[in-house]
């Protein structure tokens, strides 16, 4: 008969209270000397403190990667005033004011203001992509501590009374001469405690503008200029290259490509050839270009200048036609109202081929 044998577990050797206390002291001393050994090792090394920003061997901006998105910068020497960056900005950080001229005594476009509020900029880079010449770029500048918040507005047209003339890119150019990146922005960033620079208000600008005849000299009258271009276009409508030149004069001339064509020549040539009848594609020209193009197209289709001026084929206006009418006879008002005009319409042979043969109908 088997006997039941019970095995006892081996007894554990547990230290006493004094042994545990001594062990804790040893562990504490060991961890203390391990930590202090790291700290004491720096006593025999050279200091690595950087005295930023006045005593650094290399400026911090030069150690940042080139594609860093810092403050925005605009090189006004190659800015075409296409306003593509202003339209692309989702939070209206960029503000551009443009004056328009007749292209003869004054340039077609002049930039009175080009401001970028870096205090609101979120550095998304959306304004950089559509720029046709690379005038607007992100720099590696990031130091913008100022006491007055208005100093965070970078004004690339320092004097609104001296507008900047847009750059005209050469045909077929793919690269443009740009100033070193960051050079312009560093001059615009003011000291921390500098007062806000004076900037004339709209009331002051209006007061400084000349009055009377001087104010009208060189100013742009879109309606009058549109009628002049329409009369010229009607005279050369059979000659497509000349018609293209007239149509191009109604555009801003920035060659920004916002219209969907490579330049203003492509857009005006498409209209001259009857391939495109849209008049609102010249974004820099705005409402003025749209109105002038509409006047030209309506004149080409109807053969008359808009506004009831009568036929404009021979270049005569309504005012000139009034001098050719026969004088009214001293009769009653009813007889004068019923009388026919003395001027007879031009013969059909002198008017040229029908307009439907020269211009396509609207699709």
Asked if residue 116 and residue 75 are part of one domain, the reply reads yes
pLDDT in tens, 3-58: 565 555 555 555 678 888 888 999 999 999 998 988 888 888 887 777 777 778 88
Q: What is the Cα–Cα distance from 58 to 54, expressed in whole angstroms?
A: 10
Higher pLDDT, 139 or 46: 139
Highest mean pLDDT (candidates 23-37, 160-174, 256-270, 311-325)? 23-37
Confidence of residue 201 (pLDDT cuts 50, 70, 90): low
Per-residue pLDDT at 312 exceeds 60: no
| pLDDT confidence of residue 47 | 76
The mean-pLDDT minimum among 8-12, 185-189, 195-199, 266-270 falls in 8-12
Residues 235 and 155 occupy one common structural domain: no
Question: What's the average model confidence in pLDDT over 341-361?
Answer: 42
Q: Does residue 156 form part of some domain? A: yes
Is residue 44 in some structural domain?
no
Please indicate, yes or no, whether residues 192 and 261 belong to a single structural domain of this protein.
Answer: no
Query: Are 192 and 57 in a shared domain?
Result: yes
Mean pLDDT within 147-165: 88
Tell whether 325 is covered by a domain. Answer: no
73 with 151, same domain? yes
Q: Is the pTM of this model over 0.75?
A: no
Q: Are residues 184 and 235 located together in one domain of the fold?
A: no
Which of 276, 247, 274, 249 lies closest to 261, judged by CA?
276
Containing 136, the helix (H) or strand (E) segment is strand 136-138
Residues 185 and 230 in one domain: no
Total H helices, total E strands in the chain? 12, 5
Q: What's the CA gap between 352 and 311, in Å, rounded?
A: 13
Helix (H) or strand (E) holding 278: none
Report yes or no on 105 lying in a domain.
yes
Same domain, 168 and 61: yes
Does some domain include residue 171?
yes
Residue 349: predicted pLDDT: 39
Question: Any idea which of 58-72, 162-176, 192-206, 319-333 has the lowest mean pLDDT?
Answer: 319-333
Residue 154 confidence (pLDDT) = 92
Question: Do 181 and 233 belong to one domain?
Answer: no
Whole-number percent of the chain with pLDDT over 70:
74
pLDDT at 127: 94
pLDDT band at 359 (very low <50, low <70, confident <90, very high): very low
The lowest-confidence range among 141-145, 236-240, 269-273, 326-330 is: 326-330
Which residues, at least 6 apart from 91, have a Cβ–Cβ distance to it below 8 Å? Answer: 120, 122
Same domain, 138 and 265: no
What is the spatial order of strands in the sheet that 94-100 belongs to? 94-100, 109-117, 153-155
**Does the pLDDT of residue 88 top 90, yes or no?**
yes
pLDDT top residue among 30 and 103? 30
235 C-beta neighbours (distance < 10 Å), count: 16
239 and 119 inside one domain: no
Q: Look at the block and give the residue holding tokens 């009374």.
A: 161
Q: What band does 69 get if pLDDT is binned at 50, 70 and 90?
A: very high
Measured distance CA(231)–CA(293) in Å, rounded? 12
Residue 121 lies in a domain: yes
**Average confidence score pLDDT of the chain:** 76
Does residue 96 belong to any structural domain of this protein? yes
Q: Which domain holds residue 234?
A: 221-318+358-362
What's the structural domain count of the chain? 2
- CA 214, 216, 219, 225 torsion: positive or negative? negative
Q: Higher pLDDT residue, 73 or 298?
A: 73
188 and 226, same structural domain? no
pLDDT exceeds cutoff 80 at 355: no
339 in a domain, yes or no?
Answer: no
Separation between Cα atoms, residue 111 and residue 279, nearest integer Å: 23
């Amino acid at each position: 008969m088997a006997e039941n044998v019970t095995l006892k577990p081996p007894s554990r050797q547990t230290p006493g209270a004094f042994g545990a206390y001594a062990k804790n002291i040893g562990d504490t001393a060991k961890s203390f000397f391990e930590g202090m050994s790291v700290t004491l090792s720096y006593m025999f090394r050279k200091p690595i403190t950087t005295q930023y920003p006045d005593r650094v061997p290399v400026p911090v901006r030069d150690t940042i990667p080139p594609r860093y998105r810092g403050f925005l910068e605009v090189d006004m020497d190659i800015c075409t005033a296409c306003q593509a960056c202003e339209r692309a900005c989702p939070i209206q950080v960029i503000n551009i004011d443009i004056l328009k001229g007749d292209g003869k005594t004054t340039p077609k476009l002049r930039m009175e203001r080009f401001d970028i509020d870096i205090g609101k900029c979120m550095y998304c880079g959306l304004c950089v992509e559509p720029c046709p010449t690379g005038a607007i770029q992100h720099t590696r500048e990031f130091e913008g501590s100022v006491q007055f918040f208005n100093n965070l507005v970078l004004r690339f047209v320092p004097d609104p009374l001296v507008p900047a003339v847009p750059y005209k890119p050469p045909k077929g150019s793919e690269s443009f001469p740009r100033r070193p990146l960051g050079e312009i922005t560093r001059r615009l960033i003011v000291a921390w405690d500098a007062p806000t620079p004076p900037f004339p208000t709209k009331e002051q600008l209006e007061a400084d503008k000349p009055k009377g005849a001087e104010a009208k000299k060189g100013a742009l009258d879109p309606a009058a200029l549109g009628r002049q271009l329409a009369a010229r276009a009607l005279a050369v409508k059979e000659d497509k290259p000349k018609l293209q030149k007239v149509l191009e004069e109604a555009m801003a001339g920035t060659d920004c490509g916002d219209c969907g064509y490579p330049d203003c020549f492509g857009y005006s040539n498409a209209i001259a050839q009857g391939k495109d009848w849209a008049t609102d594609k010249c974004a820099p020209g705005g409402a003025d270009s749209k109105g002038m193009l509409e006047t030209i197209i309506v004149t080409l289709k109807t053969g008359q200048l808009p506004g009831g001026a009568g036929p404009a084929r021979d270049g005569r206006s309504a005012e000139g036609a009034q001098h050719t009418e026969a004088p009214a006879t001293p009769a009653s008002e009813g007889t004068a109202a019923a009388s026919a005009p003395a001027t007879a319409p031009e013969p059909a042979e002198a008017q040229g081929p029908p307009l439907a043969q020269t211009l396509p109908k609207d699709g």
